[in-house]
Amino acid sequence: MTSPAPTAVSGATTPFRLWTPEERQASLRQALAHWQPGQDLWVYGYGSLIWRPDFDFQERRLALLRGHHRALCLWSRINRGTPECPGLVFGLDRGGSCRGVVYRLAGAQVPEYFPALWEREMGAGAYLPRWLSCETEQGPVPALVFIMNRANPGYIRHLPEDEVLAIVRRASGRYGACTDYVVETASALRAAGIRDARLEALAHRLQQPAGPA
């Protein structure tokens, strides 16, 4: 089988830059301004944080976030793609709702784990850290949520599914193939008992042999 031909998509080659360590640190300080040091803290995960949190946590719960939905709406030019061949990663875009998980970190763990979490999630300022209420079976919890920054040049929406498939299939970055990222996220949601029919259908298509160009 031949590989899918590159797809020309507006915005894929838009210039971008990584945040400096000082910008990341300022963003982290701002996000934690209302956090009481020593107090436990909740973080919401909807994509790779579900299957690769990279931090220890005291508790994990299924959680529903209202007002935003999971979407492949962010170009990835490092982690799951390159500047020449960007991939797509998940963001929380406006509207609808999203089922994911919340992690409770012990207060003493926050200074230890949050700089690395910020470097991972806020490398280019593509997300807006917000404190939002997440619904769980045990009741609502205020969690730190990374929602999509629509003003970021990496933001993309309304791509036809066939274009999404072509982009994801060909892209790969420092963390591996974009296809693996999407399929792993779908698998982790399924294992957690979370139903995302649209993502399941996309992951199924990605695991089928690509047709001729």
Q: What is the pLDDT of residue 11?
A: 53
Place of tokens 């490398």: 123
Other Cβ atoms within 10 Å of 174 Cβ, number: 10
State the catalytic residues: 121
Calculated CA dihedral for residues 196, 49, 11, 67, nearest 10 degrees: 60
pLDDT at 162: 95
Cα–Cα dist 182/88, whole Å: 9
Longest dimension (CA), the chain: 57
14, 57, 163 from 198: Cα distances, Å: 28, 29, 15
Report the pLDDT value the prediction gives residue 3, as an integer from 0 to 100: 40
Whole-model pTM: value is 0.89
Tokens in use for 123? 């490398």
> Residue 129 is inside which H or E element, if any?
strand 127-134
**Helix, strand, coil proportions of the chain in percent (round to 5)?**
30, 30, 40
With a cut of 70, which residues of the chain have pLDDT below it? 1-15, 211-213
For the chain, the straight-line distance linking the first and the last C-alpha, in angstroms and rounded, comes to: 9
What is the pLDDT, as a whole number, of residue 211?
A: 65
Domain boundaries, the chain: 21-203
Q: Tell me how far apart the alpha carbons of residues 196 and 50 are, in angstroms, rounded to a whole number.
A: 14
CATH architecture entry for 21-203: Roll (3.10)
pLDDT, tens digit, 9 for 90 and up, residues 36-72: 999 999 999 999 999 999 999 999 999 999 999 999 9
